[in-house]
């Protein structure tokens, strides 16, 4: 089958008019119409029907398009793979990441990689739901950085580091000069917490439960910088990852205390779909992350 006809069928099925397709592809309207007609003849049934001035998919067209989308996705990946083999320092890495890693780990890893491979482009996608992986065999995501360990054969997970969790308290708080505390010592305090759809929130709730109390949630926030700001304003305490050098420095006016309770740390990992072949650029980045991990530099802060 003519791949141009398949692409034009995809576009028309998605609502693009034949006129628009012809303008985008630099061909004639009659050329597009003839290609679609040849495609329908090869399939053996109409795929599109005219409704007024637009073309809509028939039932056969709907069934056919799902497979066309999959085939063209594989074809595009194949073409990209060949291009990257010819030019190994080009390509695109699509990286999903947990937002709490976006102020320090992601810019550190991407910056270090781009210093050695400036021709590689990145598409960065913060995870909206931290409790669900972004990885799928036919998805767009190459790699994912998060604290979610997926229990599925379809996803490979590699632990990169174990990051301590701290109790953030306002400066001048009765625990501020302690250095390290048992979480039960904060049981009577109002807590600032991240939203329930966060992996960190689930871990914080579990730590408090093990310590013998249910935290009184005074405020729920969408991100860690906001939580740290609320703590600095004296509105409560919070369980947060260890503060690190980042684009957005931790808020002043708060103190981070080590937590002595067992399990007061989170595992940071890298994941990828086992059934999705990584293109060379993504393989290069995965190797870069692995090298940083093996050298023990992952939690050491940005490379200078």
Q: What angle do CA 30, 31, 33 make, to 5 degrees?
A: 60
SS3 label, residue 203 = helix
For residue 92, the tally of other CB atoms under 10 A from its CB is: 16
Residue 85's pLDDT is what?
65
Give the start-to-end residue ranges of the domains of the chain: 3-86, 92-160+267-294, 162-265
Fold designation for 92-160+267-294: D-Maltodextrin-Binding Protein; domain 2 (3.40.190)
Query: What pLDDT does residue 246 have?
Result: 36
- pLDDT 10s per residue in the chain (304 long)? 789 999 999 999 998 888 888 988 888 999 999 999 999 999 999 999 988 778 899 999 999 999 999 899 888 888 877 776 666 677 889 999 998 898 889 999 999 999 999 999 999 999 877 888 888 877 889 999 999 887 788 899 999 989 999 999 999 999 999 989 999 999 999 999 999 888 899 999 999 999 999 999 999 998 888 999 999 999 999 999 986 533 333 456 889 999 999 999 999 999 999 988 888 889 999 999 999 888 877 765 444 3
Structure tokens at 15: 């609502």
Domains 92-160+267-294 and 162-265 share a fold: yes
Q: In the block, which residue shows the tokens 């067992």?
A: 262
DSSP track, 112-141 = HHHHH-TT-EEEEEE-S-TTS----TTSS-
- pLDDT for position 302: 44
CATH class of 3-86: mainly alpha
φ/ψ (deg, to 5) at 149: -95, 110
* Whole-number pLDDT of residue 244: 59
- 3-class SS at 156? strand
Q: What is the widest separation between alpha-carbon atoms in the chain?
A: 79
Whole-number Å distance between alpha carbons of 47 and 56: 8
Please state which of the four CATH numbers 3.10.450.240, 3.40.190.10, 1.10.645.10, 3.30.1540.20 is assigned to the domain occupying 162-265: 3.40.190.10
Rg, Å, the chain Cα set: 25
């Amino acid at each position: 089958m003519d791949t141009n006809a398949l692409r034009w069928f995809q576009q028309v099925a998605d609502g693009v008019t034949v006129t628009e397709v012809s303008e985008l592809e630099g061909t004639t309207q009659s050329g597009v119409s003839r290609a679609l007609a040849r495609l329908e003849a090869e399939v053996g049934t109409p795929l599109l029907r005219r409704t007024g001035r637009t073309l809509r998919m028939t039932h056969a067209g709907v069934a056919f398009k799902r497979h066309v989308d999959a085939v063209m996705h594989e074809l595009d990946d194949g073409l990209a793979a060949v291009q990257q083999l010819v030019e190994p320092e080009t390509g695109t890495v699509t990286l999903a990441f947990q937002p709490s890693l976006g102020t320090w780990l992601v810019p550190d890893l991407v910056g270090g990689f781009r210093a050695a491979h400036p021709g590689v482009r990145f598409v960065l996608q913060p995870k909206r739901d931290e409790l669900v992986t972004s990885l799928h065999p036919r998805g767009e995501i190459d790699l994912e950085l998060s604290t979610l360990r997926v229990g599925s054969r379809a996803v490979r997970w590699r632990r990169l580091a174990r990051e301590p969790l701290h109790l953030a308290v306002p400066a001048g708080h009765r625990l501020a000069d302690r250095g390290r505390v048992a979480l039960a010592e904060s049981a009577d305090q109002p807590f600032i917490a991240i939203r329930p759809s966060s992996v960190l929130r689930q871990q914080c709730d579990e730590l408090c439960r093990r310590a013998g109390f249910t935290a009184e949630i005074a405020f729920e926030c969408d991100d860690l910088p906001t939580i740290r700001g609320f703590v600095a304003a004296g509105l409560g305490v919070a369980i947060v990852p260890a503060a690190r050098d980042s684009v957005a420095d931790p808020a002043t006016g708060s103190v981070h205390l080590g937590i002595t309770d067992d399990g007061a740390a989170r595992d940071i990992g890298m994941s990828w779909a086992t059934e999705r072949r990584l293109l060379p650029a993504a393989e290069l980045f995965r190797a870069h992350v692995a090298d940083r991990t093996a050298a023990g530099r992952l939690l050491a802060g940005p490379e200078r």
